[in-house]
């Protein structure tokens, strides 16, 4: 655990007692602060009280008297679409509002670091799609290379649940826009921006606010080096803002759409081959085509970003390539869960927006596509060439009929439930085809999370195949 620094002897309020909330309360206590906790769920409050924490209704008159700060869990809105009432009460009382990411960055470095031969470093990864795979891949490469490393943030452990850093350690954090938007301290050593596509627009009042939340990670802390995907205008703009000129190798540009061979430091992937160029000359290359854990162009983009970070950390190209080969991928992200009778079954439940689904569709041929769920703001848009390999779409979700109507040029069947969609896709599938779950929508109309949706798909596929 990372004890929180700077609040010794002070009262700090904690709003939201999920995974990050409890970790925050414990880390505050370990740092000598008194955590005052609140959650609307009485079960969560009972759990907190059982651990010895004081619970106080933070909407009561005078609740913030003597409170030094309010720490908010990521899912709680602080500005748009409107502030949570507790957050607004804190702001009206003049109490600073922060989150666990801000506490981590103010507390991670300690005096013990003066004794270390190599200062620990933090790599922070953000973007719309691919940040989990990119973070996990960086962590995997470092582990395979024998480097001390921990992985946390929006993936795996909460940031304050990490162990204090050892000599030379690299901490890899996946950070969502919810986390970067509010954190009062953001000081990573290396930052990654994978890409940007419409998501969480209500939380950020549109694309401008969404991009601004991501941009804070790069603008607030002044990282030593940044890795930026430049295939969208926002990434191109961000790289331009951070660079002092074409030859500034503190900015590593990444692309899967075009060759990047100009001055500076560039990593790109074309037709399954990753290339690194520095000062206009090739410095490394990897054939990604045979790496099963990284299928499709979207994973090649993730590989480029991870490669760039690992090179910035001093690893050789051949070391990175060997580690890529042993990467098994992440659950619910282009995950091959079964192969039977010449049909491959792929779980990409994490494709919760249209751009992520397009990437998944572009990674495979002859697809039986299971899609649908809680549609996000902006609708489905034009699937374009990404739908050219779809043999048929099997639509799930409470609004399956409306979702299906938007799939122009694609044969559809309204199934509503996962069970029916899996059964019908298996019945129709021919040898050489792929049954792909890539919903292009959130899960919350039928499932608690995209993980639960993916688990349901996997269980039903395996159960149905066992009966055949």
Pairing between β-strand 343-347 and β-strand 335-340 as defined by DSSP bridges = antiparallel
Dihedrals phi, psi of 393, to nearest 5 degrees = -110, 135
- Contact yes or no for 422/396 (Cβ under 8 A): no
Supply φ then ψ for residue 27, to 5 degrees: -70, -35
Question: Known binder of ligand: residue 194?
Answer: no
Helix, strand and coil content of the chain, in percent to the nearest 5, comes to: 35, 20, 40
Which residues sit opposite 434 in a β-bridge? 344, 367
Was 102 annotated as part of a binding site? no
292: annotated binding-site residue? no
Nearest to 226 by CA among 257, 258, 188: 188
Provide φ and ψ at 81, rounded to 5°: -65, -20
- Confirm whether residue 128 is marked as ligand binding: yes
Give residue for tokens 């992985």.
151
CA distance 406 to 386: 15
> In 3D, which of 461, 463, 464 has the Cα closest to residue 434?
461
CA 68, CA 94: separation in Å to the nearest integer? 10
Annotated binding residue 130: yes
> Rounded to an integer, what distance in angstroms lies between the CA atom of residue 399 and that of residue 60?
40
Cis peptide before 320 (omega within 30 of 0): no
Reported as type and span, the H/E element at residue 204 is helix 201-204
The interaxial angle of helices 19-30 and 42-50, nearest 10 deg, is 30
The reply to whether 133 sits in an annotated binding site is yes
Antiparallel, parallel or unpaired: β 11-15 and 34-38? parallel
3-class DSSP string for 315-361: CCHHHHHHHHHCCCCCCCCCEEEEEECCEEEEECCCCCCHHHHHHHH
Q: How far apart are CA 247 and CA 148, in angstroms?
A: 31
Q: Residue 200 in contact with residue 442, Cβ under 8 Å?
A: no
Point out the annotated binding site for ATP.
127-133
Question: Residues annotated in the binding site, as ranges?
Answer: 127-133
């Amino acid at each position: 655990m990372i004890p929180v620094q700077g609040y010794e002897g002070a009262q700090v309020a904690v709003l939201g007692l999920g995974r990050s909330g409890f970790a925050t309360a414990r880390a505050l206590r370990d740092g000598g602060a008194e955590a005052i906790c609140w959650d609307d769920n009485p079960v969560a409050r009972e759990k907190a009280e059982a651990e010895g924490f004081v619970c106080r209704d933070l909407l009561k008159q005078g609740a913030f008297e003597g409170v030094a700060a309010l720490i908010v869990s990521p899912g709680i809105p602080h500005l748009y679409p409107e502030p949570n009432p507790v957050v607004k009460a804190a702001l009206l009382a003049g109490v600073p509002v922060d989150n666990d990411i801000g506490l981590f960055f103010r507390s991670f470095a300690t005096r013990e670091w003066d004794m270390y031969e190599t200062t620990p470093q933090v790599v922070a990864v953000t973007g719309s799609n691919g940040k989990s795979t990119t973070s996990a891949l960086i962590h995997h490469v470092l582990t395979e290379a024998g480097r001390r490393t921990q992985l946390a943030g929006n993936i795996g452990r909460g940031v304050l649940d990490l162990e204090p850093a050892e000599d030379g350690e690299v901490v890899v954090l996946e950070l969502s826009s919810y986390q970067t938007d509010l954190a009062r301290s953001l000081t990573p050593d290396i930052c990654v921006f994978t890409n940007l596509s419409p998501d969480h627009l209500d939380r950020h009042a549109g694309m401008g606010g969404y991009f601004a939340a991501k941009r804070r990670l790069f603008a607030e802390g002044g990282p030593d080096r940044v890795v930026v995907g430049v295939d969208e205008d926002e990434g191109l703009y961000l790289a331009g803002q951070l660079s002092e000129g074409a030859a500034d190798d503190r900015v590593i540009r990444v692309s899967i759409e075009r060759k990047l061979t100009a001055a500076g430091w560039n990593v790109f992937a074309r037709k399954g081959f990753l290339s690194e160029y520095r000062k206009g000359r090739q410095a490394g290359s990897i054939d990604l085509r045979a790496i099963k854990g990284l299928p499709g162009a979207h994973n090649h983009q993730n590989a480029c970003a991870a490669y760039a970070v690992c090179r910035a950390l001093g690893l050789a190209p051949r070391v990175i390539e060997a580690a890529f080969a042993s990467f098994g991928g992440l659950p619910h992200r282009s995950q091959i869960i079964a192969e039977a009778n010449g049909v491959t079954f792929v779980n990409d439940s994490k494709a919760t927006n249209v751009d992520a689904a397009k990437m998944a569709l572009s990674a495979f041929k002859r697809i039986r596509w299971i899609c649908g769920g809680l549609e996000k703001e902006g609708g489905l848009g034009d699937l374009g060439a990404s739908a050219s390999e779809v043999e048929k779409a099997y639509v799930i979700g409470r609004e399956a009929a409306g979702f299906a109507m938007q799939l122009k040029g694609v044969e559809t069947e309204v199934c509503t439930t996962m069970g029916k969609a899996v059964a019908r896709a298996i019945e129709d599938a021919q040898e050489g085809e792929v049954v792909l779950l890539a919903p292009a929508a959130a899960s919350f109309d039928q499932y608690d999370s995209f993980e639960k949706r993916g688990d349901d798909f996997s269980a039903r596929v395996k159960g149905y195949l066992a009966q055949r």
